[in-house]
A and B are shown apart, each in its own frame.
Chain A
Amino acid sequence: MNLLSACPPGLWMMIAGVLAVALPRGPRRLLLWTAPVLELAHIWILDPGTASALAVAGMHLEPLRVDALSRVFGTIFSIAALLSLIYGSYHDDRVEECSGTVYAGAAIAATFAGDLLTLFIWWEMTAVSSVLLVWRGGTPQAFAAGKRYLLIHVTSGVLLLWGAVEYWHLTGTLAFDHMQLQMGRAAWLIFLAFGIKACFPLLHNWLQDAYPRSTPAGSVWLSAFSTKLAVYALARGFAGTDLLIPIGATMTAFPIFFAVIENDLRKVLSYSLNNQLGFMLVGIGIGTELSLNGTAAHAFSHILYKGLLFMSMGAVLHRTGTVEASRLGGLYKSMPLTAMFCIVGSLSIAGFPLFSGFISKSMVIDAASNAGLLIPWMVLVFASAGVMDHSGIKVPFFAFFAHDQGHRVDEAPRPMLIAMGITAFLCLAIGVWPQALYAILPYPVEFHPYHLAHVIKQLELLTFSAIAFGWLYRRGHYPPEIPGVNLDFDWLYRVAIPGMLRPIRTDVAAAHRWIETRLRAASRTVWTSLANTFSPQAPFGGVISLEQGLIWICLTVAGVLLLAYSG
């Protein structure tokens, strides 16, 4: 077995990320920037079907398993890592670059894990490495959000491990293959672990809590990997699970309402990310070749356009010091290129013809209609109108147009512009030439997005959504952007439950103080008595000779033996 087929893709990125910490800027960048390129080559050198086996303590592990599904996710993760590195090179942040690279490497390695234990290891590695990106936000709020983020992600990992152990007991194997929820607790635990990372409804708040707190580049890194790793895991483990259809449909709809009233534009994008994950989960739940292709394609294009939108808002944050819509406006005058790239991202996410979202989202929606799923289909169309609002219009409109707030700043730094330019090009390339994306999808593709009827329907949907915005805005019905926070489900564990536990916490603290006082008193007593016994002035104190010592030992042993035999 050669080295390439023994090591999972992503491993080198993790090693490079760790080694680079000690290097000065030039060699560090060389090492880090080449790592995703090498990983991409590694992924495409490996043939589908390649696998490596390892026996550990009676368990048969498969650290590497290559197939079409893992390859498409591994590919986009490598591209996203390189783009994030380019984008982040506007400043010299060793921790951000290195932890981001380790994070991306872990996500890539996880997509090639053939067993649940290997998946667990890389799953937890993504959590530990990515929290550093949240903490790089550098504010007390970022630190607190990072702690919550870590707790939730580690919990997801623990559930995955627990599920894996149960699965092993149940089936006698750890192979990460398709499973049914009917299998019982093992499958449900694994499903829940994936669901936490995939932002199932009510489990979603870690995303909106953490991502907007990071640095401009940190958010770009974060937007690409964790949630899409969960999408990959669900696609591999739970394709065709009906429950994912209502879960995904709910996810497409509910974040829209929060995104409309949110003032922090990176938080708007986080809600929007949650909504896009819903489309992917519906595709997994339907479980047909078209829908699974749609999920993989949507994950691929989503990572690019969502990254592009986070990049543009990161550039705005970097230049103006804020991404609050209430403090922005008119920036197209100072940052025309950033505005243009943001609009490309917006057109892509909205699904405008010739842009990537038009291809991938249509595959999922068509799969729903082909399957005759009327209500999920209507929810997806409804959500498409919502996407047009929060990401298609709101983000570019309030940042770059709307009321000019007088920001007169420089255009984004060159590395940011280069990364945004490449990403925008890829968004367009997928839209114009989808065959390249089709070629790497898990199943053969028979899909024709540029059918006239499809184009007309989509143009009607988008145009009349935009007309609705114009009508509401011109008549003053569109909610004004106002500073503040909007409560979401995390209120429960950030305010309500701690509030309920406060009296108990007071009692526990009092009990802790009581026990501590008693223990300190007891230890003082023991210490004093030992000192009194063995101090130089005490009967047993002072220095004794070797012979005296030996006699004491012999007497003690003889005493113990006598006691033992006498019993």
Chain B
Amino acid sequence: MKQPDRKHWLDDPRHVTWLWRGLVAFGLFVTLLEPLIDLHPHFEVENQPFFYDWFPFFSYVFIVLFSKELRKLLWRPADYYERETEDDS
């Protein structure tokens, strides 16, 4: 087993914050580019302002929050199948 002792760049929380801000800044940058180009929409919904920003954002939030609720229903201890079945896992 190796024992790396040096501090890594990502160990510093300030650097993580920089990355986060960089991501948001990049998001704003591509958003600002959007009105400058023709997006060749196929559907009316794509003409909604900044569709490709808010639709994936809210889809993602929905997926995560819905999954969190789903876990309350579906989660069982790791040995669930071993306890519930005779010769199974």
Partner of A487, one of B27, B76, B78: B76
**Nearest A residue (CB) for B63:** A386
CB of A230 within 8 A of chain B? Answer: no
Contact, CB under 8 Å: B64 / A464 = no
| Complex Cα spacing A369 to B39, Å | 13
Q: Which of A370, A410, A484, A488 touches B77 (beta carbons < 8 Å)?
A: A484
Min CB gap B20→A, angstroms: 6
Chain B, residues 31-42, CB within 8 Å of chain A (1/0): the string is 101100111101
Question: A250-266 interface mask toward B, CB cutoff 8 Å, 1 = contact, 0 = none?
Answer: 00000011101100000
Interface contacts beyond A460-B56, A484-B76, A495-B81: sample of 4 additional A-B pairs, CB < 8 Å, sorted by A = A261-B70, A472-B61, A477-B68, A487-B80
Residues on B with beta carbons closer than 8 Å to the beta carbon of A478: 64
Tell whether A408 pairs with B78 under 8 Å between CB atoms, given A333-B8, A464-B57, A468-B61: no
Q: A386-B63, A478-B64, A486-B74 are in contact. Are A465 and B3 (CB under 8 A)?
A: no
Q: B81 contacts which of A453, A465, A468, A485 (Cβ < 8 Å)?
A: A485
Closest 6 CB pairs of A and B: A141-B89, A468-B60, A260-B67, A460-B52, A369-B42, A385-B59
- Residue contact A484 to B42, C-beta cutoff 8 Å: no
A329 to chain B, nearest CB (A): 11
Number of A-B contacts (CB under 8 A): 169
Residue of B3, B27, B64, B71 with most chain A CB atoms under a 10 A cut-off: B64
Q: Do B68 and A381 touch (CB < 8 A)?
A: no
Kindly state the separation between the CA atoms of A388 and B59 in the bound complex, as whole angstroms.
11
Decide yes or no whether B12 CB sits under 8 A from chain A: no
CB of A452 within 8 A of chain B?
yes
Asked if B85 and A372 make an inter-chain contact with CB atoms under 8 angstroms apart, the answer reads no
Closest to A372 in B: B42
Report how far A484 CA is from B68 CA in the complex, Å: 14
Most buried by B among A457, A477, A483: A457
From the candidates A385, A463, A479, name the one contacting B71 in the complex (CB within 8 A).
Answer: A479
Closest-CB distance, B45 to chain A (whole angstroms): 7
Please judge, given known A-B contacts A377-B43, A468-B61, A479-B71, whether A495 and B84 are in contact too, CB under 8 Å.
yes
Is A461 a contact partner of B67 (Cβ separation < 8 A)? no
- Given the interface pairs A257-B70, A453-B39, A465-B57, the reply to whether A460 lies near B64 with Cβ below 8 Å is no
CA distance A31 to B85 in the complex (A): 43
Expressed in whole angstroms, the Cα–Cα distance for A451 and B85 within the complex equals 55
Q: Report how far A409 CA is from B42 CA in the complex, Å.
A: 50
Cβ-closest chain A residue relative to B28: A463
C-alpha spacing A260/B58, complex, angstroms: 15
Q: Which chain B residue lies CB-closest to A463?
A: B27
Q: Tell whether A386 pairs with B59 under 8 Å between CB atoms, given A261-B75, A408-B3.
A: yes
The distance in angstroms between the C-alpha atoms of A410 and B64, with both chains bound, is 33
Please name 23 pairs of A and B residues whose Cβ atoms are closer than 8 Å in the assembled complex, sorted by A. A145-B89, A258-B67, A369-B43, A377-B43, A382-B59, A385-B55, A386-B60, A408-B1, A409-B1, A409-B2, A451-B40, A460-B30, A460-B52, A461-B56, A464-B27, A467-B27, A469-B64, A471-B61, A477-B65, A484-B78, A486-B71, A494-B81, A498-B85
Q: Which of A145, A334, A457, A477 contacts B39 (CB 8 A)?
A: A457
- Contact status of A374 and B43, CB under 8 A, knowing A453-B37, A456-B34, A467-B27: yes
Instruction: For residue B64, give the distance in angstroms from its CB to the closest CB of chain A.
Output: 5
- Given A261-B74, A381-B55, A459-B30, CB of A470 within 8 Å of CB of B23: yes
Contact partner of B54 (CB less than 8 A), chosen from A388, A453, A464, A472, is A464
CB contacts (< 8 Å) of B61 on chain A: these are: 468, 471-472
Taking a contact as CB atoms under 8 Å apart, the answer to whether B45 and A460 are in contact is no
Once bound together, how far apart are the Cα atoms of A384 and B39, in whole Å?
18
| Contact partners of B71 in chain A: CB under 8 A | 261, 479, 486
The residues of A that contact B26 with a CB separation of less than 8 Å are: 463
What separation, in Å, do the CA atoms of A144 and B34 have in the docked complex? 53
Taking CB atoms, residues of chain B closer than 8 Å to A38 are: none
> Do A477 and B76 touch across chains, with their CB atoms under 8 A apart?
no
**How many Å from the CB of B36 to the closest CB on chain A?**
9
Known: A141-B89, A370-B42, A385-B59. A464 touches B52 (CB 8 A): yes
Q: Are B60 and A495 in contact (CB under 8 A)?
A: no
Using Cβ atoms and an 8 Å threshold, which residues of chain B touch A141? 89
Judge whether B81 and A257 touch: CB under 8 Å. Answer: no
CA distance A484 to B79 in the complex (A): 8
B37 and A452 contacting across the interface, CB-CB below 8 Å: yes
A378 in the interface, Cβ–Cβ < 8 Å?
Answer: yes
Q: How far is the CB of A67 from chain B (nearest CB, A)?
A: 31
Contact check, A479 vs B64: say whether CB atoms are below 8 A apart: yes
- Kindly identify which residue among A257, A372, A388, A466 contacts B67, using a CB–CB cutoff of 8 Å: A257
CB distance from A378 to the nearest CB of B (A): 7
Contact check, B2 vs A410: say whether CB atoms are below 8 A apart.
Answer: yes
**CA of A82 to CA of B45, assembled, Å:** 45
For residue B2, which residues in chain A have a CB less than 8 angstroms away from its CB?
Answer: 334, 408-410
How long is the Cα–Cα vector from A35 to B5 in the complex, in angstroms? 45
Cross-chain contact A474 with B20 (CB below 8 angstroms): yes
CA distance A390 to B77 in the complex (A): 22
A204 CB to nearest B CB, Å: 15
- Asked if A425 is at the interface of the complex by the 8 Å CB criterion, the answer is no
Given A144-B88, A463-B30: A453 in contact with B40 (beta carbons within 8 A): yes
CB distance from A272 to the nearest CB of B (A): 13
Q: How far is the CA of A145 from the CA of B61 in the complex (A)?
A: 33
